[in-house]
Structures are given as C-alpha cells and as structure tokens.
Chain A
C-alpha cells in the first residue's frame, strides 16, 4: 500500500533510515558501557509500550491514561511466573501478552460506552488503582506486597560471548522489532483500515459493515498486550518489581512519550521511549533542585517545536508517511 500513500522518494529514505537504524542498534551495545546498554534497553522497553498505546490512540482514536496498569500487570505476571512457578523468563513474554490481552479486552467492553476524555479518565482510574491492588493482602504471597519480587539476572544462552546487559539488550531489540513488524502489518491491513475508519468517522465505518464494538475492544486488548510484554521485559531487565515502580506517573510518562514521538507515527515510539528515560536525567543534570520544572520546560519546548510530535515534524519535512497514519483532527 505504501506505494500509493507514500511517495517513492520518501519510501526509499524510510528504507535507508531503517537499515541504518538497525545496523546502529546492533552495534551500539558493543560500543557503550554496560549502564548505557541497560538504559538503551529501557528505552526500547518503553518504546514497545508506547507502540501499543499508539495502536490504540493514534490508529483507533481511543485514549488511555492507564497503560501503566497493563505494564505493571505484565511485569508482575512475569515476575510471579518466574519466582513462584519457575517458568523460563523467555516464556513469560507470551504469557504476559495473553494475560494483558485478556484484561485489556475485558476492560475495553465497558470502555465502549466512553469516548475521548471520559475514556481517558476511566483508564486513569485503572492506573491509580494499580499500586494499592498490588499491595493488597490477599495477593501478598505472590506479589510480596510493598517489598515486591526480586529476580535473578538471566545469562546469555548457548554460552554466547555477551555480557548479561548485552544479551538482554539484543533480546529486547528482537522482541521490539517483531512487535513493530506486527504493528506495521496490522496498520497496512484490512484490520488497520477498519480501525482508522472508526477513528475518522464512526458512523460511516458502521455503514461499511465494520463492527465497531468488536474492533474497539480488540485493539484495546492488543494495545494492552504490547504494554504487558514491555512490562515483562522490564521485570526481567530490572530484576525487580514493586508496586511503587508502577504508580500513575508511569501511565502519564507513556502518554507523554506517545505525544513526543508523534501520535499515529509508529517509529516515534522509540523517540518517546528515549524521552521517558533521558529527559528526567538531562533535567537533573542541569539542576537537581529544579529537575521537575526543567522537565516541564523541555516538554513544553518540544511540543512548541513539534506540535504533532517527531512524526508530525518529519511529515512536514516530507520525510514520513502522509495523512493515512496521521493524527485525527
């Protein structure tokens, strides 16, 4: 489809940029220190969650300020599966995806009655409810209440000559690329067009035979599954989950990352992830006392310079795809 909605020139640029980015991302973990590799892994983890949020918000036009809850659910599912049931960490990713798909899908059912800011508020309630639920005494045996769950760091398999950090980076990279591919496939398919149609004109979409409730709940589930996989990777990489790692700020951070990267522009997720990980550090580097204020200033300047996020900026420069994946009015 890209041949039609995207000029051949910008398609070529996108292809070159993709290959260059892939080569760079494969080389990076061998060129920087272990801590930076860890940070870059976190960037990719947040990018996966933002990718899922983008499918929901950018493509189907539904808002969520509660994706931190699905992130937390995925993280705890992975941590408990490893800690209490001895599951291999690799298998926790599909497990977290399935659990979060199911919960997201079920949450999507009542969410059908809510639109726009009301849906945003309902999902925000989910984000607020998460930490107390994780501390709840009935599930303490699994979640470890406020102490959380500690995990061992997985070593590279098959005796690969990699450090643990490098291995987790590469694992996250492969998972992220696969999930990006799936998101792209969805976007450029009958399913993706149905979701965009719902965002653009729900009444007309219904008249075209698109089942609105089915697609809206489906994408809620898929979006939650992305956040869940990101959460599971986070648990494995950080080797620790605790309720207060998943306070409501996480949901807000994911939303901010989405907007900074560009609503509706999938590669923007990576920039959004980088913003989540590095912007607070940069702010703190300038002034410890004023870091919160500086973070706000960085955010405002970015929104001023790129009102439609990085994706919108690239679109204006003719370097990214046109209105098809663009933000709804």
Chain B
C-alpha cells in the first residue's frame, strides 16, 4: 500500500524535520524527523507523555515548535494559520473526542465540510442561489459520509447522546468531510473493546484504500497498530527511538525497554 519510499523527500506528503517542542523547560518533542508517503498508514506509538499528541497539535498548528520544519505536500505547514491547515489537506480526530456535542451527527459532519465548500456571509444571510448550491454540496458530502460510516440511524441525534464508540465514528466522519490527504487519528481505539477495535482497523484500511490518503495513527492498542500500519514510529520522552515495519519494531530492544520500563539504552 505504501508508495515507493525511494521517491524521497521531494514527493513526501508530510515531512517532519528536526522538530522540537518545549513547555516551560520540559522537552515534549526533541529532534523528531520522519517522512510520510502518500497512501501510507503510519503507526505512532509510545508510552503516555511520549509526545504523540504534541506532534498532532503541531500538525494542526495549535502548537508552534521551538525549532524544526514541517512540510505538507511541499508547503511550509508552520507558515499556515490554524484555519488553513484543513484546506491544505490535514484532517484530524481528537484523543478525548472533540465533537460538537450539542449538535446532531449530520450538523457535525456538515461542519467538517466547511472549508471544502466556499461561501460568503452575505450570500448566506440573503440565501442567494450561491448559498443554496453550497448548502446542497455540503449536504451531499455529509450524507455520503454518514452512509459510508453507517451513522444513518442517528443522523439527527445530538452527538453527546451517543455512546463513545459512535461519537468517535462521528469524529472520523467529520474529519473525512474536510477531504484530507493526511488523516491524523489520535487514539481512535481508546475505549473500544477488542471486536470494535478490529472492526475499526478494517474501516480505517478501507477508507485509506478507497481515497488513497495517508493516515497517521497514534494508538495504544498494539493489535490495531501492528495489523494495519505499513510502518511504525516509536516515541519515548519526545524522541524517536524506532522507525520501521511493524514486525521489526515489535522486536526492537529499545522499544521493549521503553514499554516495560527498563533502563534507558
């Protein structure tokens, strides 16, 4: 599934280069570098506090690294405003579900399509033909995703009233509505049981295959990460300690130490 890795940095979808983030003297990320190719599912694992969510928040522009470079499709991501990140093809979900809890499933997914369909406040205020066409386009996007992710039965239910696994699925639908090239999934299997996690893995894989998009998957559920990732990166205390195919990473001595709390290598 991974695109040829020998295309190198020039065509990498995402290129993270020597990124460091510090919070009041504490180093959350330190010299992190990696590339992601189009169509790749990249697993990101590491103990709690190892910097996974910090990396995600850099990619969403919520944090600005103290040093380093991030490029998306060759563009300087760190030069973008938060609201332009989605337009550059980065969609995401959140670790603790950040759905618009009071809004219906349909409205959540429609908001995901916000940046994809242009619009103007005056056209909206006067409901000009242009605004109606935008509304139709948004509805078509949202309804297709709701069908694809089997959320039709709860389309008009407020998301906050749904069980956690379905809320996570709404978040996934909302992220897909932004039409991402790179989908950031922050612990999508958190709170899911084994069967649900297996099902989620198959879903992520089919989404990725159908759209040819890349997925950066931060996850603690090893079964899920190892079964669907093309490649796995391991973080520990903000540093990358391993990067390779799932099988190789699983047997890496440093990774085992990081997880089992052994003496640092």
Q: Which residues on A are within 8 Å of B, measured CB to CB?
A: 1, 4-5, 182, 185-186, 189-194, 196-197, 200-201, 203-212, 214, 218, 222, 322-324, 326, 328-329
Contact = CB atoms under 8 A, between A and B. Distances in A.
Contacts of A212: 82-83
Nearest to A211: B83
**Interface centre among A193, A196, A326, by most B CB within 10 Å?**
A193
A208 B178 contact: yes
B207 interface: no
17 contacts: A185-B126, A186-B121, A190-B134, A194-B111, A197-B111, A200-B103, A203-B62, A203-B98, A204-B99, A207-B60, A207-B91, A207-B92, A208-B111, A209-B83, A209-B84, A209-B86, A211-B81
B226 interface: no
Contact of A196 (B100, B121, B135): B100
Nearest to A209: B115
A209 B124 contact: no
B114 interface: yes
Interface string B70-91: 0000000000011111110001
Given A190-B135, A206-B82, A201 B127 contact: no
Given A191-B124, A203-B98, A209 B87 contact: yes
B264 to A, nearest CB: 34
A300 to B, nearest CB: 27
Assign chain B's interface to a size class. 35 or more
B107 interface: yes
Contact of B98 (A4, A201, A218, A326): A201
A205 B111 contact: yes
Contacts of B116: 209
B178 A209 contact: yes
Nearest to A214: B83
Contact of A189 (B82, B98, B131): B131
Contacts of A222: 121
Contact of A182 (B62, B117, B125): B125
B156 interface: yes
B138 interface: yes
A208 B91 CA distance: 7
B155 A322 contact: no
A193 B131 contact: no
A309 B82 CA distance: 36
A196 B103 contact: yes
Contacts of A329: 101-102
B124 A204 contact: no
B104 A5 contact: yes
A200 B138 contact: no
A214 B115 CA distance: 14
A207 B82 contact: yes
A322 B160 CA distance: 13
Nearest to B128: A185
**Interface centre among B138, B155, B156, by most A CB within 10 Å?**
B156
A212 B138 CA distance: 20
Nearest to B104: A5
